[in-house]
Amino acid sequence: MNEGATRAGHLALLTALAGLLLGAAALWFGVMGNAIALWGFGAACLLQIPPALSLRFRIRAGLGNRGLEGERLTLRSVSHLQRLLALGLGLASLAALMGGRAPQASLPILGGAALAAGMLAAIWSAKQGLKGIHPALELDAALTRTLLELSALLVAGCLLGFWFPWADAASGFMQALRLFLAGRSLAKATTVPPACGGCGSGCC
């Protein structure tokens, strides 16, 4: 488990760094360009940072009881924030659809979205082989998959935006639905009793 846990720790740190980089860039350009799907994706990326750092702390502590309650509190908070973001994203998307507002289609934004999707796909793929080590790693992989799905919706919205002005708002609305479901699933996951009396795969 040591080698796998070490790799998982590196991936958790990489996830936090990617969340900061992609989130800050997408949020900035999304707000400046009034691109709903872009700033929604950026905000979702930033919400990935606390769980990734919390998981890294637990991995360094041996994935035992130490830090378990802190991680659960972090995940519960993120689940609430995801649903709150979903509400804001959904309302903004509906307002844009009804008002006919649409950002200008941009090849650089499309390229950036595709690059983000590729980066997240690589991170998620690397995490797939570690899911059996501990339930916390499986949950972490699920969080990354949610971001990957949001990035795919962003790419689709950016691409379709060259022909359909409403594509960005529609993509934002689909992101809102996915975020709401992710937040609800995350909240349920934090109520599941830990394996082996809170020790995960190895009692301490």
Residue 161 domain-assigned? yes
Domain count, the chain: 1
Residue 99 domain-assigned? yes
Which residues form the domain of 65? Answer: 2-192
Residue 120 domain-assigned? yes
pLDDT tens digits for 98-152?
A: 987 788 888 999 999 999 999 999 999 999 988 778 888 999 999 999 999 999 9
The full DSSP string for the chain is -HHHHHHHHHHHHHHHHHHHHHHHHHHHHHHHTT-HHHHHHHHHHHHTHHHHHHHHHHHHTTSSSTTHHHHHHHHHHHHHHHHHHHHHHHHHHHHHHHHT--PPP-HHHHHHHHHHHHHHHHHHHHHHTTTTT-HHHHHHHHHHHHHHHHHHHHHHHHHHTTT-TTHHHHHHHHHHHHHHHHHHHHHHHTTSPPGGGTTTTS--
0.75 cut: is pTM over it?
yes
Residue 51 domain-assigned? yes
How large is the average pLDDT for residues 50-65?
86
